[in-house]
Amino acid sequence: MNEQLETIKAVANATEAAANATEKAIGATESFGKFISKFIKGSLEQGIGIVEDKLTYARWENQVRLMNKVNEIMRANDIVEPRKCVPMKIAVPIFSNASLEEESFLQERWAKMLVNASCSSVVNVERSYISILEELSSLDVQNLEKIYKHEVLDINDTIIITDELPNATTAIHEKSKAYIKLNNEIEVSLQNLSRLGLILGAFTAGGYYRYDSVYQTYLGRAFINSCTITKYIDL
């Protein structure tokens, strides 16, 4: 009897929570609808309609682009169907992020990550890689791909010179002594990549990191493999 009561209580609580969440969502839509209606000099209904229609259409449009990108990648690699089941904790956030992504360049990286997760027997797509990609801009990814275009045998022995980013990088085996002034936008991007553990700045005698010279990291290599289709990936 007690178990039945507990079950009924749990169902009631879940129903109430769902109702509250729905009510909040409706309230948020109405609030934004009112905000929009001020600017278009229209009714609340018009404002809410614009919010719902635009968000629905934008997401649908992104979903169509995602499907096309994934199908294109799979066709290019002679894959007819996914070769393994993707765990929900990986699949759901990839689909969610990819369908919200406006930039084609970044959405393609989500598409490649999905293909790797469902088809590759070599590349592991970890949940942490999804969180990392969520925090990267197009410029961050462009810079990262240029840094990891170099095949390095020892990440501690090869320095990547970044002064030509986002166009190119150079790999050397001797430390660059003269500091090369970077564009502020590039500097910020490289510091973000360093914050996420995807690169390591060169440590100076003065006790700070410089980003005109950087090192690859094992995390950075694993991450870039997760959202890149390369000859090393056994598809």
Highest average pLDDT, of 35-39, 168-172, 186-190, comes from 186-190
The pLDDT of residue 8: 44
Give CA angle at 161 (159, 167), nearest 5°. Answer: 135
**To which residue do tokens 């690859």 refer?**
216
Q: How far is CA 200 from the centre of its chain?
A: 20
Q: Is the pLDDT of residue 221 over 80?
A: yes
* CB neighbour list of residue 163: distance below 8 Å, 6 or more residues apart: 180, 182, 212
* Between 32 and 196, residue with greater pLDDT: 196
Question: What is the average pLDDT across 33-48?
Answer: 53
For residues 103-115, give the mean pLDDT.
95
How does residue 210 score in pLDDT terms, banded at 50, 70 and 90? very high
Q: What pLDDT does residue 11 have?
A: 44
pLDDT band, residue 13 (cuts 50/70/90): low
Give the residue, 143 or 204, on which the prediction is more confident: 143
Taking a C-beta distance cutoff of 8 angstroms, is the pair 220, 197 a contact? yes
Where do the domains of the chain lie?
2-126, 135-226
Over 60: is that where the pLDDT of 176 sits?
yes
CA distances (Å), origin 30, targets 4, 17, 174, 232: 39, 20, 61, 50
Q: What are the beta bridge partners of residue 200?
A: 215
**Residue 187 pLDDT > 50:** yes
Q: What does the alpha-carbon distance between residue 228 and residue 141 come to, in Å, rounded to a whole number?
A: 11
Torsion of CA 99, 100, 102, 108, to 10 degrees: -40
Residue 36: predicted pLDDT = 46
Please tell me the distance from the alpha carbon of residue 167 to that of residue 144, in angstroms, as a whole number: 11
Mean predicted confidence (pLDDT) in 156-172: 93
Hey, what's the torsion of the CAs at 172, 137, 58, 64, to 10 degrees? 20
d(CA 188, CA 39): 35
**pLDDT of 104 above 50:** yes
Taking CB atoms within 8 Å and a gap of at least 24, the contacts of 96-104 are 97/130, 97/133, 97/134, 98/62, 98/66, 99/59, 99/62, 99/63, 99/66, 100/59, 100/62, 101/62, 102/58, 102/62, 103/138, 104/65
Higher per-residue pLDDT: 54 or 89: 89
